[in-house]
């Protein structure tokens, strides 16, 4: 009986099942990338070369923009933005959306911190860093992960709640640009390798997929006091 109900549910709406598969592929890709960056010398050399190429960009406006983006992407500021946006959603009656945002960024960032310890990848050499080199491990990038989770979740909620498609797409595009700028700034400033932010992207999109599945199941798009 249970298997029949599950089959009927899949036939009515296969999207959650597809998203679960996508999530699995993304998280598997994250693990595979992390192992390759630790145990595949050729892959590591390619990552180091790409990272050096990004650091070697010489546009005069790039460093101040990168420094500002890196400052914004610090976890303390991402946490403050998350709490502010979550409170605004809660006061506006979108309680499930508020909880979705706070839990996605909070739990996802904690998972990223734990995975840093698990992989234990050393950061780039001190002499290539343009800012103070953090003492934590390098993979995945915490800045890239927390900003992707925050801006990705905000983009998802905007698409759900904003009626104008043009405005929703413009806002989502701005969120994507902000997350990308923060991530790539960490490589340019010499405190992360390119592979670190790619790993954060795989992990972040995997976690965002979980968020979409949960939101679709419990109705984060609702506007009443309990949704």
pLDDT for position 7: 47
Minimum mean pLDDT among 8-17, 47-56, 123-132, 166-175: which range?
8-17
* Average confidence score pLDDT of the chain: 87
Which class for 83: exposed (0-12), middle (13-18), buried (19 or more C-beta within 10 A)? middle
In the predicted structure, residue 224 carries a pLDDT above the cut 50? no
Minimum mean pLDDT among 32-36, 159-163, 175-179: which range?
159-163
Q: Answer with the residue of higher pLDDT: 9 or 173.
A: 173
Q: Could you tell me the two tokens for 185? A: 């700034």
User: What separation in angstroms does the CA of 203 have from each of 3, 38, 53, 184, 192?
Assistant: 31, 17, 24, 16, 16
pLDDT for position 4: 46
- 3-state SS assignment for residue 61: coil
Q: Give how far the C-alpha of residue 155 lies from the chain's centroid of Cα atoms, to the nearest Å.
A: 12
- Using a cut of 0.75, tell me whether the model's pTM lies above it: yes
Minimum mean pLDDT among 18-27, 38-47, 111-120, 187-196: which range?
18-27
pLDDT, mean of residues 91-102: 89
């Amino acid at each position: 009986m249970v298997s029949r109900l599950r089959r009927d549910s899949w036939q009515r709406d296969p999207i959650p099942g597809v998203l679960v598969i996508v999530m699995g592929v993304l998280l598997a890709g994250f693990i595979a990338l992390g192992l390759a960056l630790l145990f595949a010398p050729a892959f590591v050399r390619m990552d180091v070369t790409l990272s050096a190429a990004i650091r070697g960009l010489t546009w005069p406006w790039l460093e101040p923009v990168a420094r500002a983006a890196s400052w914004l992407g610090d976890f303390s500021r991402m946490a403050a933005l998350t709490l502010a946006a979550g409170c605004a959603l809660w006061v506006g009656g979108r309680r499930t959306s508020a909880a979705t945002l706070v839990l996605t960024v909070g739990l996802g960032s904690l998972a990223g911190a734990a995975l840093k310890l698990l992989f234990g990848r050393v950061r780039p050499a001190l002499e290539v860093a343009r800012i103070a080199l953090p003492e934590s491990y390098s993979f995945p990038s915490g800045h890239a992960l927390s900003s992707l989770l925050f801006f990705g979740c905000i983009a998802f909620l905007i698409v759900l709640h904003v009626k104008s498609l043009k405005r929703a797409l413009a806002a989502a595009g701005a969120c994507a640009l902000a997350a990308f700028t923060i991530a790539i700034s960490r490589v340019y400033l010499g405190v992360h390798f390119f592979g670190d932010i790619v790993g954060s992207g795989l992990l972040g999109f995997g976690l965002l997929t979980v968020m979409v599945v949960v939101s679709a199941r419990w109705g984060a798009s609702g506007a009443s006091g309990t949704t």
